[in-house]
Amino acid sequence: MTRLRIAVQSKGRLADGGLDLLARCGLRFSYGRNKLHQSAQNMPVDLMLVRDDDIPSFVASGACDYGIVGENVLREKYPAQDADSPLEIAMNLGFAGCTLKLAAPVDSAVDNWADLNGLRIATSYPSITDNFLRSKGVQAQMVEMSGSVEVAPRLGISDLICDLVSSGATLEANGLKPFATVLESEAVLIRRTQSVSSDVEATAEILMRRAAGVIASGQTKYIMLNAPADRIDEITALLPGSDAPTIAQIAGRDDVVALHAVCRERVFWETLEALKAQGARAILVLPIEKMLS
């Protein structure tokens, strides 16, 4: 049987999330993470642990069949609008979320797109940034940097930057303010647009079905609470992303029922407080480990 080869970042922000996802899909590996090549013991799957920047070209060339990479890295070489792209996103993986943002020094006067014409923009993503600016009618000068982009304006190397942001702390610490969002990114599973062998596809289908279950169960919660029997409709309406709940009787009580529901969206404290205000008591929110529907 032809083995499925998946490229995963060896170390960095995508490595733990990628290997953890594959483990939760049931793949078992015998070696630690220091080996470049690992074979799963219980499925026909091999992993190649490499730098994230190499992953799109490894998959495009056929050295690997699938890869786990940030959408930002994929799009720098393989733009979404390219109809002949050799690569496609097989699925979004729901971790390593970040945003590629243009940012300017807090005291900068830039206020609209036209102000950016002719300015120098430091970035590790010159292609994405330049394409985005051209779509806004702006011609700017890309200053390519491989890291520490946030220091460029202070060093006088650039006027603005275009860099990945997650919490925003790095921008703030460097006296920068966001100007515009260029790309929303997260980890994605990529593959060639031309199909690979049917053995490999069959293994990939099993893994992707499991991964979809793992990702869905990460956000999904099981809610249990006691509700006044005459408030079931109000309480059900407050449960985020749930189907009809299960209602069970409580021994010796006919004014209160037990209500159980699976919520497919995040459950915030505000929701719990609103449920309590409607008379719900003994509210429990439980994680769900696996889901197969």
Which residues here bind ligand PRT, judged by CB under 6 A?
Answer: 9, 12-14, 51-53, 70, 72-73, 96, 98, 163-170, 185
Alpha helices in the chain (DSSP H): 15-24, 55-61, 71-77, 126-135, 152-155, 169-173, 198-219, 232-238, 269-277
CA-to-CA dists, residue 168 to 106, 150, 181, 182, angstroms: 14, 11, 13, 15
In the complex, least distance from residue 14 CB atom to ligand PRT, rounded to whole angstroms:
5
C-beta of 12: minimal distance to ligand PRT in Å?
2
- Residue 73 CB, shortest distance to Zn ion, in Å, is 7
Query: Which of the listed partners (Zn ion, ligand PRT, none) does 185 bind, with a CB threshold of 5 to 8 Å by partner kind?
Result: ligand PRT
Cβ closer to Zn ion: 164 or 263? 164
Size of the site for Zn ion (CB under 5 A): 2
Cα dist. 161→61, 109, 184 in Å? Answer: 32, 15, 16
Closer by beta carbon to ligand PRT, 130 or else 163: 163
Phi, psi of 167 (to 5 degrees): -80, -25
Nearer to ligand PRT, 14 or 227 (CB): 14
Measured from each CB, the residue nearest to ligand PRT is 70
**Which of ligand PRT, Zn ion, none lies near 195, with the C-beta cut-off 5 to 8 A by kind?**
none
What are the contacts of 168-174 at 24+ separation with CB within 8 A? 171/101, 171/103, 174/150
**Which of 183/204 has CB closer to Zn ion?**
183
Q: Which position has the token pair 């060896």?
A: 10
Per the CB < 8 A criterion, the answer to whether 87 and 59 are in contact is yes
Nearer to Zn ion, 124 or 220 (CB): 124
Distance, CA of 259 to CA of 159 (rounded, Å): 57
Using CA atoms, how far apart are residues 74 and 69, in angstroms rounded to an integer? 7
76 scored as a contact of Zn ion (CB under 5 A): no
Tokens of 131: 């394409």
The CB-of-181 to Zn ion minimum distance in angstroms stands at: 21
In this chain, which of 52, 71, 76, 159 binds Zn ion, going by CB under 5 A?
52
- Minimum CB–partner distance for residue 267 and ligand PRT (Å): 24
- The residues that touch Zn ion, with contacts defined as CB under 5 A, are 52-53
